[in-house]
Structure 1
Amino acid sequence: MTTNTEIHPFRIDIPQADLDDLQGRLERTRWANELPLQTEGAVQTGPVPPGWEYGVPVGYVQRLVEAWRTTYDWRAWEARLNEYPQFVTEIDGQQIHFLHVRSADPNAIPLLLTHGWPNSVVEFLGLIEPLTAPTEGQAFHLVIPSLPGFGFSGPTADQGWNRYRTARAWAELMRRLGYEKYGAHGNDAGAYVAPELGRIDPEHVIGVHVTQLFSFSSGDPADLADLSEDELGYVRFLQSFQDNMSAYAKLQETQPQTLAHALADSPSGQLAWIAQLLGGTSDEHVLTNATIYWLTNTGASSARFYYEDHHADHPTTPTTAPTGLSSFAFDFRPLRRFAERDHSNIVSWNEYDRGSHWATQDAPDLLIQDLQGFFSKVSEH
């Protein structure tokens, strides 16, 4: 770790020239061609919406680009982000940007929230007030960092920024902030990082809470013997996602730089690339994340996270930190038999009948309740 441990206040202040350049590029967008698809009366039966079989449709991108040009207000979102205390610090040679919002509750638990791809710290904005100043239940001091290579942490400058290096950086960040005991939560890429933080910093991490446990069959046919109908449904959903929606992961695991040239040159291309996973959220959420990735030019470095993680040496021993899962209806759902092989101390497992991969956007009440219940439980031990 670097010997420079200074933490500096940070404020987002995008030069108007950068916004003017974005506007000009959007106005000059050259649209892709596409095949006419018959979508009238189509019913979604898997993870791919009707009309999205070939990928993100031109009409969707055109609609959002028009909103981006004419009605979307970045300055309003910049002001909203700047309402919260933000900081930067250098850890392991990398700038780390984070929000740090303390609760007035003397019994608040420090909690680090790690976002996913293609999201940003914006993923957790709606949880800040309910978690730091709840009307009832457990309160938290929140630390919300931008993953290395994402958003205002800026592009990574060297190799190796995978889940493990990130977890080590998070442990150092919490140490610098003076937190002796703390919890960790993660979604998507954050659900890879949070369990590793519990693995490497067990003296300080009181518990790990995630919205996915990415545990899979070893390939042994015995793994899939005696599955219940619900478990078979989970397997079918995962297979359908792998078959129809995982091209982004395969490309970013193997050739992230190839696509990066297009993302760095075309804001509408950046928008379309992230919309394949964010398309189910609000237009404002998609556009705000697209704007952040564009303005910070982190399309390439955020994609490299997949490459670095794919090429890392992965531990074969299970994690031991107290672990909790919130599993939402329209998301990847793990089989508990696989999860318990990878995580030996699962103390909370809740499955919900609504919510998606981005539960902060469509089921925040359930997620907040689960976070409060889990960390109240593990903090008592």
Structure 2
Amino acid sequence: MGVKCFSVTVTVVAVFACIAYQILLSPLPPPKISTTKYWGPSSQANRVEKSEVKPFKINYSADVISKLSNRLSEPLNLVEPLKNVNFRYGFDKHKLEELVKYWRDEYLPKWDGRQKFFNALPQYTTKIQGLNIHFIHTKDQTDKAKYVIPLLLLHGWPSSVREFYNLIPELTKAKDNIAFVVVAPSLPGYGFSEAAKVPGMNPNEIAIVFRNLMVRLGYDRFLIQGSDWGSLIGSSLAALFPQNVIGFHSNMCVTGFFMNYIKAIIASVYPSLFVAAEYADFHFPIGEKIAYHIEESGYFHLQATKPDTIGIALTANPVGLLAYILEKFSTLTDKNNRDLIDGGLDKHYTKEALLDNIMIYYLSNSITTSVRLYAEGFGIEYLNLKMDRVPVQVPVGCARFKNDLAHELDWQLNVKFPKLIHSTYHANGGHFAAMELPDVLYNDFLQFVNKLNVTAKK
């Protein structure tokens, strides 16, 4: 009788374990999607969408720049920081005053030169699903390469296509017989790409827009490289359209799969079983990593719940916009920058590069529409799709930069990325690797591409 009861118990436990696995842990098929959903103004919903691609240049008048200069000349009346807090309470007053003065007195007077810099890379717009999408599209130096491969290059927040201006020229040069035709779009609602007029523009929907963009440009098969939101969008695109994707490379490979938190705890007991000793501090100690995320995630919760409120505050205040965005460039580049009086900004970036990025948000009036992606990307409609459990069935490469916001072990990534063929660790660099260390990111990406044995002739 005891043996029989034990057998029944084991059977029941096994059945429930299988059910739990199917409900909570097993891989899922891609969700059903529409590739034609309309995101534009309702008054134009029934119009036939033109497929023309138009050249685009950044061109703002002297009057626009003069008005900004006048706004930056208004008294700041900032409160004195507490003694020795540096950037731990946020942006330091004195560093902010220095940057505002530089913005007004040195950067804006040479705006014509900055516009020429922006326009040195060929840019275009085209209507996709009702939205005017802006993108860089360059292949000028690819003629010496034996193999020329289309590449979709995706940025995140609070970045823009400006992050790629030092990376793109490297990508279009021939190296190892390979060069890339680069398409770097502004995300919908970011910079010069039009924002959705209705709710629901989540990472899956952006992935669809960008897949349609690449097909329109004649690229039915292409590579993807992305970070931050660009990583999540690129991952979704590869999962939804594996027939279009040659491979996916990211410098922020995180999946959001809840089981990965349990895996992290298990791995923390014997880290050496899961990661080489010299890279253990990328992932451990877990308590320290969690504390850092809690300390630095205030913006995340605000933008995921009330994006328009913070958007209104920043739209009305260019100085606030600068402080809000550049504080992220400080902390997410290296958390130790919080202990520096200048936030480490001068150590990692030029003032021109930082202010170029601010100008894109300011001139396009896109801060509100950009932060809405947090509400869409963490809304219940998108989370119910369970994309963290939909595997990417194409080759994947993951580059980890030491000071980035988060890292996952290969063991954590293997459900989402079963074809992870390239996994690297870099001792320096943070969240904005394309701007901070473009050569390192380029070489890592090229190593990944060489592993693919791509032979797509131009």
Alignment TM-score, normalising by the size of structure 1: 0.91
Q: What CA distance in whole angstroms lies between the structure 1 residues aligned with 2:289 and 2:112?
A: 39
Provide, for residues 146-191 of structure 1, a one-character-per-residue CA deviation record: whole Å limited to 9, x for no partner: 0100001144322222211110011000100101211000011111
Cα RMSD (Å): 2.0
The verdict on how the C-alpha distance between 1:237 and 1:187 changes in structure 2, with shifts beyond 3 A counting, is farther
What secondary structure does 1:203 align onto? helix
Look up the SS of the partner of 1:69 in the other structure.
helix
Partner of residue 232 from structure 2, selected from 192, 197, 204: 192
Name the aligned partner's letter for residue 71 of structure 1: E
Asked whether 1:163 is paired with 2:203, we answer yes
Q: Distance in 1 between matches of 2:80 and 2:310?
A: 19
Give the alignment of 1:113-192 within 5 angstroms: 113-136=153-176, 138-192=178-232
Q: Check if 1:329 corresponds to 2:397.
A: no
| Pair 179,222 (structure 1): closer, same or farther in 2 beyond 3 Å | closer
**Mapping for residues 44-83 of structure 1, pairs under 5 Å:** 51-72=86-107, 73-83=110-120
- Aligned to 1:143, what secondary structure does the other structure show? strand
Q: Percent identity?
A: 30
Q: CA deviation at 1:212?
A: 0.9
- Which of 286, 298, 304 pairs up with 1:247? 298
Q: Is the 8 A contact 2:155 2:228 kept in 1?
A: yes
Of residues 427, 433, 441, the one that matches 1:353 is 427
Tell me which moved more, 275-284 or 61-70. 275-284
1:29 is displaced (CA, Å) by: 4.5
Which residue identity is paired with 2:368? Answer: A
The within-5 A match list for 1:156-305 is 156-216=196-256, 217-218=258-259, 221=262, 223-227=264-268, 228=271, 230=280, 232-233=283-284, 235-236=286-287, 238-279=289-330, 280=345, 281-282=348-349, 283-305=351-373
Preserved contact between residue 81 and residue 92 of structure 2 (Cα < 8 Å): no
Secondary structure at 1:330 match in 2:
coil
Higher mean Cα deviation, 190-199 or 352-361? 352-361
Is contact 1:271-1:286 (8 Å) kept? no
Contact 2:399 2:444 in 1 (8 A): yes
1:362 aligns with 2:403: no
> How many residue pairs align between the two structures?
370
Conserved? CA contact 1:116–1:189, under 8 Å = yes
Deviation at residue 82 of structure 1 after TM alignment: 0.9
- Displacement of 1:77 after TM fit? 2.1
The structure with the largest alpha-carbon Rg is 2
Contact 1:118–1:274 (CA under 8 A) maintained in structure 2? yes
The separation in 2 between residues aligned to 1:290 and 1:360, in whole angstroms, is 17
Q: 1:221: how far off?
A: 4.7
Q: Is contact 1:234-1:335 (8 Å) kept? A: no
Measured at CA, do residues 178 and 273 of structure 1 come closer, stay the same or move farther in structure 2, by a change above 3 Å? same
Map of 1:21 onto structure 2: 67
Structure 2 residue runs of 5 or longer lacking an equivalent are 1-35, 39-48, 273-279, 331-344
Partner of 2:428, secondary structure, is: coil
Give the counterpart of 1:96 among 129, 133, 142: 133
| Alpha-carbon displacement from aligned partner over 1:251-272 (angstroms, at most 9, x marks no partner) | 1101011111111111101101
Residue 318 of structure 1 is matched in structure 2 by 391
**For the Cα contact (< 8 Å) 1:121–1:144, is it kept in 2?**
yes
One-letter amino acid of the counterpart of residue 12, structure 1: I
Q: Report the 3-state secondary structure (helix = DSSP H, G, I; strand = E; otherwise coil) of the residue aligned with 2:126.
A: strand
Corresponding residue number in structure 2 for 1:47:
none
1:135, distance to aligned residue in structure 2 (A): 5.0
Listed one character per residue, the Cα deviations across residues 122-156 of structure 1 (whole Å, up to 9, x for unaligned) are 11010122110145552111001001000011443
Amino acid at match of 1:213: C
Letter of the aligned partner of 1:255 in structure 2?
A: K
| Distance in 1, Cα, partners of 2:427 & 2:358 | 29
Corresponding residue SS for 2:189: coil
Instruction: State the alpha-carbon separation in 2 of the partners of residues 174 and 65 from structure 1.
Output: 39
Residue 112 (structure 1) shift = 0.7
1:27-46 alignment to 2 at 5 Å?
27-38=73-84
Contact 1:253–1:308 under 8 Å retained in 2: yes
Q: Which runs of 4 or more aligned residues in structure 1 lie more than 6 Å from their structure 2 counterparts after TM superposition?
A: none
Q: 2:183 and 2:285 mapped to 1: Cα distance? A: 33
SS of 2:210's partner is helix
Tell me, what secondary structure is at the counterpart of 1:276? helix
5+ residue gaps, structure 1, are 40-50
Contact kept? 1:198, 1:319, Cα under 8 Å: yes
Shift of 1:223: 4.8
Out of 152-161 and 350-359, give the one that drifted further: 152-161
Residue 236 to residue 213, structure 1, CA distance change in 2 (3 Å): farther
